[in-house]
A and B are shown apart, each in its own frame.
Chain A
Amino acid sequence: MEQGLKIELGKQGVFVTTVEELYNWGRRSSIWPMQFGLACCAIEMIATTMARYDLARFGGEVFRPSPRQADLMIISGTVTKKMAPQVVRLYNQMAEPRYVIAMGACAISGGPFKQGYNVLKGIDRYIPVDVHIPGCPPRPEALLHAFITLQKKIDGQSLTGEDRPRHLDAAAQGEFPVPVQGEHDLEPTSNKGVWPVPITIR
């Protein structure tokens, strides 16, 4: 339906919508994050939820202490190789639809600790990440921006067709293999289905 006609009808007191719009509006307005912090970025995440920045304005205030009730996983901090299997397992335990924000330099790439012996070079090697936020740590505004970006992404998803969300696609992969802690490193070192090694052009 045309936008102009919709507005005109609205002026006459007629509200027109589609199931898709209504469905996505509901989903994006109540994204419940998981109560889960890994390092210093978690402090910024806590600040984002507090009165000054107030994540509740966007429907994200209900931090759930269980992955079963959460829609959004905010990877807030350094993911160590010791912690990575637990992060993937928690992600597996979340119910669809589920989303991931990788918050801060460490979560997206390993950050200042990248060459450390126990630091994973980005959580996107094992689970699909929807929004990456750089920063060390990112300001609460940046997390809010990521949250709004995620809401826009949800709003733009069509419920049918190729780009439909994973929970409406029966063939979609739901469980992501949990890496095993080996004798020298995590095995495998990345999930090639989620993270095909990017080609660097120089």
Chain B
Amino acid sequence: MAGADYHPLSRRGIGTKGLGKAWNERAFVIEEQALKTVEEIKAAIEASVPGAGVELVLNPSVSGQHSLRLAPSHAVAVATFLRDDRDLALDFLSNATGVDWPDKEISEKIKVTRTVSKTVDGVDQQVEETVEETRKRVEPGCLEAVYHLFSVAKKHGPVIIRLKTVNRSDQVELPSLTPVWRSAEFQEREIFDLFGIVFTGHPDLRRLLMWDEFKDHPMRRDYVEPDDYEYEPTAHDEVLARAQAHRAKAEAGQKGGDR
């Protein structure tokens, strides 16, 4: 290892001896332009776009890929800022995808204090009692669009932004980011096709993978696929169960027809 200079390659145990001074300098320059943290980006956005409801979504895993959830009303302004800001210069949208968050039933145990009438020593009394109660509530689901941004100019990234719809049935509109990054066009069409998020301001929002007459959104968690399990010669696990269900249904239908 040549000297004590920090070098990204030296960590992986690769010698940097033969690479020369220019290589080391280049590595140092990249080091200097390290990307801002999500907190810094959030502060920069809030300084530039007043009232932009930016919310941090922290990722507790080892990768630590934190993301920023934008308010749909300010999303286009914030996206334009992220693209045009001199320090960030996120000029490249590498990936846009969707996430479906179905309605979630949460059961919680809550301690409740109640007044109960009890007979203590032969006398009726009102006694306060703490009882554990299980309450169930349904957290409404939503649809989410996730964008991964990189900077070709600054060689950094990714910065991840998310947009969330109000629910997953009738209020599924999100602003399109195609006017900001042209490469979002087909990917937003794909999200529209598979998840059913309607991007307002998209120049050409049609289905991409499925045909136009198709009604469902196949990547949603509650998508019901057509029952075409009539012939499964090598079925196992879930497919086997479905094939058996199909056969039982078909046999019941035949018997019904005979009667």
Say yes or no for B226: interface residue by CB 8 A criterion: yes
**A115-151 interface code vs B (CB 8 A; 1 in, 0 out):** 1011001000000000000000000000000000000
Q: Which residues of A contact B225 (CB under 8 A)?
A: 115, 117
Distance to closest chain B CB from A125 (angstroms): 9
| A-B contacts at CB below 8 angstroms, number | 38
Say yes or no for A82: interface residue by CB 8 A criterion: yes
Say yes or no for B216: interface residue by CB 8 A criterion: yes
Give Cα A81–Cα B223 distance, bound, in whole angstroms.
17
Distance to closest chain B CB from A197 (angstroms): 5
Q: Which residues of B contact A115 (CB under 8 A)?
A: 225, 239
Distance to closest chain B CB from A143 (angstroms): 23
Establish whether residues B233 and A189, one from each chain, have CB atoms under 8 Å apart when the complex forms: no
Establish whether residues B211 and A197, one from each chain, have CB atoms under 8 Å apart when the complex forms: no
Give Cα A82–Cα B213 distance, bound, in whole angstroms.
11
Say yes or no for B228: interface residue by CB 8 A criterion: yes
Interface size of A in residues (CB-CB distance below 8 Å):
15
19 residue pairs from A and B, CB less than 8 Å apart = A82-B209, A82-B210, A82-B211, A115-B239, A117-B218, A117-B223, A117-B225, A121-B228, A181-B214, A182-B213, A183-B215, A184-B226, A185-B228, A189-B226, A189-B228, A197-B230, A197-B231, A200-B232, A200-B233
Interface size class of B (residues with CB under 8 A): 10 to 19
Could you tell me which B residues sit within 8 Å of A by CB distance? Answer: 209-211, 213-216, 218, 223, 225-226, 228, 230-233, 239
Could you tell me which A residues sit within 8 Å of B by CB distance? Answer: 81-82, 115, 117-118, 121, 181-185, 189, 197-198, 200
Establish whether residues B230 and A183, one from each chain, have CB atoms under 8 Å apart when the complex forms: no
Distance to closest chain B CB from A114 (angstroms): 8
